[in-house]
């Protein structure tokens, strides 16, 4: 279990690294800091975060004929910052891909369902997310809740039930812990982008007043 947790944390680290690199590009900053975002930008965000999910499916760790992965991190963060449209679409992109490819077969459909539902959950939580002072903390415990929901879906849908219990007993805690931390870290990066924007706006206002 400890080894699996370490491998999942490494997966999460790679997502955070990509997010840090993206945060340096002005187009990404514009995408995530628009107060009233146009529908086309929501689609772009959904594709970006859905692709995060797809990448993490391919780098998943085989466990008992299934995959332990960080697919939810991109989908959940997309839903939190982009709302229901981004959450649902990125969940569908990553989830349908998980179901369509022939790896980790016997959990393919439950994983698709859980990915879509986690995207929906994140989208519904988006308004509450923006009201939080400590957004990273909100993301941490809601991300853990989303992963608990995924484990519950596996127990409900995977048959035989004994196989589901065996799988969840191995991947449950590592995925809940690693992915919740990853979601929190990714949100912290996005929050940093917002802080930079606010700082720039404050400096511009100060300059205007001085002039």
> Which pLDDT does position 115 carry in this prediction?
96
How would you write the chain as a 3-class SS string? Answer: CHHHHHHHHHHHHHHHHHHHHHCCCHHHHHHHHCCCCCHHHHHHHHHHHHHHHHHHHHCCEEECCEEECCHHHHHHHHHHHHCHHHHHHHHHHHHHHHHHCCCCHHHHHHHHHHHHHHHHHHHHHHHHHHHCCCHHHHHHHHHHHHHHHHHHHHHHHCCCHHHHHHHHHHHHHHHHHHHHHHHHHHHHHHHHHHHHHHHHHHHHHHHHHHC
pLDDT in tens, 43-57: 988 999 999 899 889
Q: What percent of the chain has pLDDT over 70?
A: 86
For residue 2, the model assigns a pLDDT of: 65
* 41 contacts 31 by C-beta, under 8 angstroms: yes
pLDDT digits (tens, 9 = 90+) for 57-81: 988 888 888 889 999 999 999 999 8
Give the Å distances, CA to CA, from 92 to 8, 51, 56, 144: 22, 11, 15, 20
Instruction: Tell me the HSE value of 84 on the side-chain side, using a 13 A CA sphere.
Output: 2
The more confident residue out of 202 and 145 is: 145
Q: pTM here? A: 0.88
């Amino acid at each position: 279990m400890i080894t699996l947790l370490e491998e999942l944390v490494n997966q999460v680290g790679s997502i955070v690294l990509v997010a840090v690199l993206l945060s340096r590009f002005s187009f990404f900053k514009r995408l995530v800091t628009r107060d009233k975002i146009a529908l086309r930008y929501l689609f772009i965000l959904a594709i970006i975060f859905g692709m995060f999910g797809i990448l993490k499916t391919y780098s998943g760790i085989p466990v008992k004929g299934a995959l332990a992965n960080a697919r939810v991190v991109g989908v959940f963060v997309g839903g939190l910052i982009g709302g229901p449209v981004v959450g649902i679409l990125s969940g569908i992109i990553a989830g349908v891909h998980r179901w369509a490819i022939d790896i980790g077969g016997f959990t393919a459909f439950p994983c698709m369902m859980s990915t879509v539902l986690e995207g929906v959950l994140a989208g519904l939580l988006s308004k509450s997310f923006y009201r939080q002072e400590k957004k990273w903390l909100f993301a941490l415990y809601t991300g853990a809740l989303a992963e608990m929901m995924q484990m519950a879906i596996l127990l409900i849908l995977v048959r035989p039930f004994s196989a589901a219990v065996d799988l969840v007993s191995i991947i449950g805690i590592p995925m809940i812990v690693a992915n919740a931390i990853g979601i929190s870290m990714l949100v912290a990066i996005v929050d940093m982008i917002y802080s930079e924007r606010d700082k720039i706006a404050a400096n511009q206002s100060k300059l205007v007043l001085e002039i």
